[in-house]
Amino acid sequence: MSRPHEHWTVLPHGKLAEIDAGILTVVGEIHMPLVTLPRRMTVVRLSDARLVVWSAIALDEIEMATLESYGRPAFLIVPNDHHRLDAKAWKERFPQLQVVAPEGAREKVAEVVPVDTATPSFDDPQVLFVTVPGTRGNEAALVVRRPGGTTLVLNDLVGNIRNESGFGGWFLRLMGFAGDEAHIPAPVRMMLVKDIEALRAQLLRWADIESLKRIIVSHGAPIDEEPRQTLRELARSLK
């Protein structure tokens, strides 16, 4: 895991894109020994134009101007203790941010940035923060309802890295972080999943959301083809 940045440090990243009404996303890169890992930030606009920033990435000033024109950053969600890289820098840039982390990750996240709450109140019934059952309180998710469908925002629990090539791509596959389909990466399962039945039940509850349109993950492409079936297959993969 990379050392958390002390100040605003811009690493390679793409452009913000609106994936649905009130939902922005952008992909960046983390250069690690032997491999470059793609990472994703998701930004959700609440009904009053405040922004929920999920798994923050420090962007260049052009993209930050785009983000700030979209709304006012109000919540910074650190969805587990491995996603702290830019949290301190974001809090320094936006002191008014309420920092959110799931209870099980709170202590380690607080080593980098003070955590305000594990149970945020967005005052918007269309955006729900979830601490994922079966992860010992260490992993968060968001459910975002829009007129055109529901988006499920996950973090490390599901990976969907498919097209990485060369030695880095081979190594990601070897380590279980990449594959031919969306999956629960083996290292994540080993470190994160503590109660298989509780997690399976949650995946199936999400699969029952008839309006589910897509799943956004922090590492890999969004899952927008048969997301409900994907969740059922992920539940079946838990043994």
pLDDT over threshold 70, residue 209: yes
From 137, 122, 147, 113, select the one nearest 44 (Cα to Cα).
122
Q: Read off the pLDDT of residues 63-83 as tens digits, 9 standing for 90 and up.
A: 999 999 999 999 999 999 999
Q: Read off the pLDDT of residues 28-58 as tens digits, 9 standing for 90 and up.
A: 998 877 677 789 999 999 999 999 999 999 9
Tell me the residue length of the chain.
239
pLDDT at position 177: 67
Q: Read off the pLDDT of residues 184-198 as tens digits, 9 standing for 90 and up.
A: 888 888 889 999 999
- Looking at per-residue pLDDT, the higher value among 113 and 190 belongs to 113
Residue ranges covered by each domain of the chain: 17-237
Say what the pTM is: 0.93
pLDDT at position 165: 58
Q: How far apart are CA 38 and CA 161, in angstroms?
A: 8
pLDDT at position 172: 64
Average pLDDT taken over every residue of the chain: 92
pLDDT over threshold 70, residue 129: yes
Please state the rounded mean pLDDT for residues 101-121: 97
pLDDT over threshold 70, residue 183: yes
CATH 3.30.2130.10 fits 17-237, yes or no: no
Q: How far apart are CA 193 and CA 133, in angstroms?
A: 9
pLDDT over threshold 90, residue 175: no
Q: Read off the pLDDT of residues 82-104 as tens digits, 9 standing for 90 and up.
A: 999 999 999 999 999 999 999 99
For the chain, the three-class secondary structure string (H helix, E strand, C coil) is CCCCCCCCCCCCECCCEEEECCEEEEEEEEEECCEEEEEEEEEEECCCCEEEEECCCCCCHHHHHHHHHHCEEEEEECCCCCCCCCHHHHHHHCCCCEEECCHHHHHHHCCCCCCCECCCCCCCCCEEEEECCCCCCCCEEEEEEECCEEEEECCCCCEEECCCCHHHHHHHHHCCCECCCCECCHHHHHHHCCCHHHHHHHHHHHHCCCCEEEEECCCECCECCCHHHHHHHHHHHCC
